[in-house]
Structure 1
Amino acid sequence: MAVNTIDAKMLAKMFLAGAKNLESKKEWINELNVFPVPDGDTGTNMTLTIMSAAKDVAAMNANNDLDMKSLAKAISSGSLRGARGNSGVILSQLFRGFTKAIRDYDTIDIPLLAEACEKAVETAYKAVMKPKEGTILTVAKSASLKARELADAGETDLEKYIGDIIERADYVLSQTPEMLPVLKQAGVVDSGGQGLMQVLKGAYEAFLGKEIDWTVTETTAPAGAPFAGSQETVLEESDIKFGYCTEFIIMLSKTFNIKQEMDFKAYLESIGDSIVVVADDDVVKVHVHTNDPGLAIQKALKYGALSNMKIDNMRLEHHEKVVKMAQKEQQEAAAAAPAEKKEAAFIAVSVGEGINAILKDLGVDYIIEGGQTMNPSTEDVLNAIEKVNAETVYVLPNNKNIILAANQAKYMTEDKKIVVIPTKTIAQGITAVINYVPDLSPEENEAAMTEAIETVRTGEVTYAVRDTVIDDHEIHQGDYMGIGDAGILAVGQAIETVTKDMIDSMMDEDMELISIYYGQETKEEDAAALRDKVAEKYPACDVELQYGGQPIYYYIVSAE
């Protein structure tokens, strides 16, 4: 008998199966990165994004606490806050649009599924300033178009319907190299599109009845996720001040604005510690360690009904890691918060102790550790915004793959003015900070900094992890590569030669300053020798050498 509807329980299983399938293929997807660098991250970013939501969905599934509205909210909110990298942000927006279309229905039939697919694609395209075809967006759009075509043709069998949609999307994925020459030259399909296909295929297998392990392990959750815990070591019972780890979701029926949220947090602090309160539209996620969970529950009931309630006796289970992590986060938050409110503050994404120190010296208030090797999530940016006490907060992503997540955090912040300067490199971030003028308005500073970063050219030297051809450069595994703003600038077997060739490709007669930041694997004497040779070749330029301490990249060079 043909199945023609999907209920909340089935949708939860499909979502978790899609997440699990993506997780199992993440390294393979990472290897589809066009540039053969040692930090390809599309699979990792998409996995961390979906797992941020999957943890809550798994808990709801295990407790049989499923209805379409709360499930849709968990998928949307969890993926939005956990979104990392461009591919992760686009995936979260696909989920956001999809769940908006289905949340008010008990079951999903084919016409509603077609509408949800269209809403998903519409939402994702709106989130990207300059959508590019041949990417995850194209694959998603092809699925949506097929979904509409089949629905309008009167298809009633969901098994055939979903199967045909996946077949069409898979074909379009195979054609992405014909849409983007860089994919064709590298011999790969779009990695984001492949990630989406693994989600869809995993979901379809669950729909067909394949047995799936629904367990979402803590190790798959993003670092710093609100409810993450660990059981690596144990703690004596007498050392635990508050014994019950209490978690629940408030389904709001009354106003819960910033003031209510602060009052609620203050109350929880009076009865416990390790407090996390995440409010999103009509749902609030709560976590607290307390000796009387009933008090927290009674207070929460004033704002609405409760779901996903979970109370663990930590004295019996010895959750040492949970306690230590919560205490550390509280100490870091207290240390990071300025004593007085400032007119403006800067948040920058950075990696490497030398670069971190340079940014701090220039006036950056908060560093988010990350970058190309590990893209920070939307929630990482939101947490940083919360910790700086300023009227206006300037965010410097310093990586093109983090700009979407930063903008997503901007739109989710209501109590501060957030200005995202679209810095794609550390060098651009440094230039942006230098060009900030306190006497100018946020709008004037945004325009000035954005204009200034356009004058900066950046090159980065790393090594290749596989053979490929890019920008007519034949690259072999183990070769050194100089990667510029728009592609490969130099390839060779000697770091110094590649770096000098890269710099030559970056230069023109208008350049006045060359800044060289050497990484943690580069010896200072080698960097100094390189600087001297560059200075000799370009005597009209100031050539600066600084310790960056960045991993993976032997040199980061800017010319302006």
Structure 2
Amino acid sequence: MEIQTIDASLLAKMFLSGARNLEAKKEWINELNVFPVPDGDTGTNMTMTIMSAANAVSELKDADMKTVAKAISSGSLRGARGNSGVILSQLFRGLTKVMGNYDEVTVDILAEAFEKAVQTAYKAVMQPKEGTILTVARGAADKAQEMKGKTDDIVEFAEAVIAEAEDVLAKTPDMLPVLKQAGVVDSGGQGLVCVLQGAYDALIGKEVDYEPVAAGEGVVKAAEKVKTTIEFVIETDKPLATYQIKEIQSKIQSLSVGTVSDIKIGDDATAETKEEPKAAPSEPAKEMGFVSIATGEGLTSIFTELGCDYMIPGGQTMNPSTDDILSAVEKVNAKTVFVLPNNKNIILAANQAAAICEDKKIVVIPTKTIPQGITALISFDADASVEDNESNMTEEIKNVKTGQVTYAVRDTMIDDKEITKDDWMGMGDSGLLSVNADISVAFKEMIDEMVSEDSAVVSIYWGEGSDQEKAEALGKEIEEKYPDLEVEISEGGQAVYAYIVSVE
């Protein structure tokens, strides 16, 4: 079988097939994450990213190449979640920037598009790391250039490029020791290979269901679907805040039994709106505002009390998309909006939102943890300029040490520490600090690794898996061992982590 050109219709089918294949493999990709925490989300993030674009592509009728390319690029950019999702969207952005200029695509054009894709993705990452999805993409692009002078057959070209991508993926453990010790290949790279493999299936005419699905729906064929309606009734003593409503929506959407649609959350007791108050058009915009990402009633209250204008529910298990961040920024009546990601896996999506936003300035403060976000807000000076605040907050968050305690979901080995399923792990800014079957022991060993002679304050935020009594008991033990330290305890209410701790 020989194919020398790809038109708009075939490109759309190849993209949808790639999306389908990624969606089908997402749970397997999630399990490739190095850290065995209960939030393996690479596969989920990449799937939700590509499905945003797949839905846009599937709605097109008799579209030309430029229109299909725009739907792929725009849909994936706005739907991007997590670092892997953002990188995937940037690969699509570069790829389609070249392909959209032609009515039909040849081997030579594909080779140029692959090169542009890699260049675009690398530029989006401030400190590219080899042994990741970027390396796999680079290998595919290099092979594409090599094949350009060898064949005009796109099938032969695709087979060679995919084979090279698979080969580079298999070598990622040799590039990143942490992958080798955990016994896995890079999860983002695996996701990219799944997309390429799915696209190849459509190229050669393999029968594929091109109907896009939402992340979590699985690969159930339309004829086999059964629609079941489940109604949730939540009774509360007082109206729910917007962040609480969004958390409920997010948790319901994460169900793996099927797709969830038509979520309606209302209040029979009052007709008052639960949406954030929107500034009247006549009200002048303030100079600076804040959007922050966090989950848990306690943490949300802390950020709000410190002056955050809008909270996006999310974090380690729920990475908001670029579009989620843009929508939140739109609700803040300020000329400049500082965004606090509070998670290293959300920073790229926030940066992407800043690049896309046109009607106001977005400044991303690269907070990688909740404590860093809190420190950034405390350091804000309303009388200082945007530039001075950005510089000051960025500098202050460097003085914060963060520790987080959660449990392991599988046996593995990290940083030469043997981890058994259900062990408690204390994780710091630079890696694993402690492992123990007893959560109290894991917590105290983590603190010992974090405290230094310069430490003055330890802040403990307790969440799921703990309570105030347990947190206070641990706090007393810290005070007894380190009498010069001031210990502060707050309810965080965060998911996944029983404790989030900052040492300053």
TM-score computed with the length of structure 2 as normaliser: 0.88
Q: Secondary structure at the match of 2:404?
A: strand
Q: 1:331 to 1:154 in 2, by over 3 A?
A: farther
Equivalent pair of 1:5/1:109 in contact (CA under 8 Å): yes
CA deviation vs aligned residue, 1:243-264 (integer Å, no higher than 9, x gap): xxxxxxxxxxxxxxxxxxxxxx
Q: Aligned-pair distance for 1:232?
A: 6.9
* Aligned Cα root-mean-square deviation (Å): 2.1
Q: Aligned-pair distance for 1:337?
A: 4.3
1:383-532 map, 5 Å? 383-532=327-476
Q: Aligned-pair distance for 1:36?
A: 0.5
CA deviation vs aligned residue, 1:425-482 (integer Å, no higher than 9, x gap): 0000000000001111111111110110000000100000111111110001111100
CA deviation vs aligned residue, 1:51-87 (integer Å, no higher than 9, x gap): 0000111122xxx422101100100000000000000
Equivalent pair of 1:346/1:394 in contact (CA under 8 Å): yes
Return the alpha-carbon distance in structure 1 between the equivalents of residues 265 and 441 of structure 2.
Answer: 48
Match of 1:91 among 88, 96, 99: 88
Q: 1:132 to 1:332 in 2, by over 3 A?
A: farther
Match of 1:321 among 240, 244, 262: 262
Return the alpha-carbon distance in structure 2 between the equivalents of residues 389 and 77 of structure 1.
Answer: 26
Return the alpha-carbon distance in structure 2 between the equivalents of residues 186 and 449 of structure 1.
Answer: 35
Match of 1:150 among 142, 147, 170: 147
* Gaps in structure 1 of 5+ consecutive residues: 222-230, 235-318
Equivalent pair of 1:336/1:366 in contact (CA under 8 Å): no
Equivalent pair of 2:48/2:215 in contact (CA under 8 Å): no
What letter corresponds to residue 443 of structure 2 in structure 1? T
CA deviation vs aligned residue, 1:514-534 (integer Å, no higher than 9, x gap): 000000331221111111101
Corresponding position of 1:24: 24
Corresponding position of 1:78: 75
Corresponding position of 1:174: 170
1:102-251 map, 5 Å? 102-151=99-148, 153-218=149-214
Equivalent pair of 1:48/1:220 in contact (CA under 8 Å): no
What letter corresponds to residue 169 of structure 1 in structure 2? A
Equivalent pair of 1:51/1:220 in contact (CA under 8 Å): no
CA deviation vs aligned residue, 1:18-56 (integer Å, no higher than 9, x gap): 000000111110111110001011000000000000011
Corresponding position of 1:12: 12
Q: 1:412 to 1:511 in 2, by over 3 A?
A: same
Q: Aligned-pair distance for 1:13?
A: 0.7
Equivalent pair of 1:143/1:165 in contact (CA under 8 Å): yes
Corresponding position of 1:297: none
What letter corresponds to residue 17 of structure 2 in structure 1? A
Q: Aligned-pair distance for 1:331?
A: 5.2
Q: 1:503 to 1:95 in 2, by over 3 A?
A: same
Return the alpha-carbon distance in structure 1 between the equivalents of residues 273 and 113 of structure 2.
Answer: 43
What letter corresponds to residue 37 of structure 1 in structure 2? V
Equivalent pair of 1:233/1:321 in contact (CA under 8 Å): no
TM-score computed with the length of structure 1 as normaliser: 0.80
Return the alpha-carbon distance in structure 1 between the equivalents of residues 168 and 154 of structure 2.
Answer: 21
Corresponding position of 1:250: none
What letter corresponds to residue 194 of structure 1 in structure 2? Q
Q: 1:332 to 1:198 in 2, by over 3 A?
A: farther
Q: 1:337 to 1:368 in 2, by over 3 A?
A: farther
Q: Secondary structure at the match of 1:34?
A: coil
Return the alpha-carbon distance in structure 1 between the equivalents of residues 126 and 210 of structure 2.
Answer: 36
Q: Aligned-pair distance for 1:321?
A: 2.9
What letter corresponds to residue 116 of structure 1 in structure 2? A
* Gaps in structure 2 of 5+ consecutive residues: 218-226, 231-259, 267-271
Return the alpha-carbon distance in structure 2 between the equivalents of residues 357 and 92 of structure 1.
Answer: 33
Return the alpha-carbon distance in structure 1 between the equivalents of residues 285 and 273 of structure 2.
Answer: 19
CA deviation vs aligned residue, 1:154-183 (integer Å, no higher than 9, x gap): 311111110010001100000001111111
CA deviation vs aligned residue, 1:359-399 (integer Å, no higher than 9, x gap): 11111110000011010000000000101000110100000
Q: Aligned-pair distance for 1:217?
A: 3.2
Q: Secondary structure at the match of 1:529?
A: helix
Equivalent pair of 1:232/1:321 in contact (CA under 8 Å): no
Return the alpha-carbon distance in structure 1 between the equivalents of residues 32 and 467 of structure 2.
Answer: 32
Return the alpha-carbon distance in structure 2 between the equivalents of residues 131 and 107 of structure 1.
Answer: 33
Return the alpha-carbon distance in structure 2 between the equivalents of residues 332 and 324 of structure 1.
Answer: 10
Return the alpha-carbon distance in structure 1 between the equivalents of residues 265 and 482 of structure 2.
Answer: 53
More strand by share: 1
Corresponding position of 2:256: none
1:286-365 map, 5 Å? 321=262, 335-337=277-279, 340-365=284-309
Return the alpha-carbon distance in structure 2 between the equivalents of residues 484 and 133 of structure 1.
Answer: 22
Q: Aligned-pair distance for 1:218?
A: 4.8
Return the alpha-carbon distance in structure 2 between the equivalents of residues 394 and 198 of structure 1.
Answer: 36
Return the alpha-carbon distance in structure 1 between the equivalents of residues 144 and 451 of structure 2.
Answer: 50
Return the alpha-carbon distance in structure 1 between the equivalents of residues 416 and 41 of structure 2.
Answer: 24
Corresponding position of 2:239: none
Return the alpha-carbon distance in structure 2 between the equivalents of residues 369 and 31 of structure 1.
Answer: 24
Q: Secondary structure at the match of 2:443?
A: helix
What letter corresponds to residue 328 of structure 2 in structure 1? A
Corresponding position of 2:252: none
Q: 1:423 to 1:336 in 2, by over 3 A?
A: farther
Q: Does 1:375 align with 2:323?
A: no
Q: Secondary structure at the match of 2:262?
A: helix
Return the alpha-carbon distance in structure 1 between the equivalents of residues 358 and 152 of structure 2.
Answer: 44
Q: Secondary structure at the match of 2:50?
A: helix
Q: 1:455 to 1:334 in 2, by over 3 A?
A: closer
Q: 1:333 to 1:73 in 2, by over 3 A?
A: farther
What letter corresponds to residue 168 of structure 2 in structure 1? V
Return the alpha-carbon distance in structure 2 between the equivalents of residues 488 and 127 of structure 1.
Answer: 28
Q: Percent sequence identity over matched residues? A: 60
Return the alpha-carbon distance in structure 1 between the equivalents of residues 274 and 137 of structure 2.
Answer: 40
Q: Aligned-pair distance for 1:552?
A: 1.2
Q: Secondary structure at the match of 1:214?
A: coil
Return the alpha-carbon distance in structure 2 between the equivalents of residues 321 and 489 of structure 1.
Answer: 44
Q: Aligned-pair distance for 1:233?
A: 6.2
Return the alpha-carbon distance in structure 2 between the equivalents of residues 57 and 117 of structure 1.
Answer: 20
Q: Secondary structure at the match of 1:175?
A: helix
Match of 2:63 among 62, 66, 69: 66
Q: 1:408 to 1:332 in 2, by over 3 A?
A: farther
Return the alpha-carbon distance in structure 2 between the equivalents of residues 440 and 390 of structure 1.
Answer: 15
Equivalent pair of 1:343/1:391 in contact (CA under 8 Å): yes
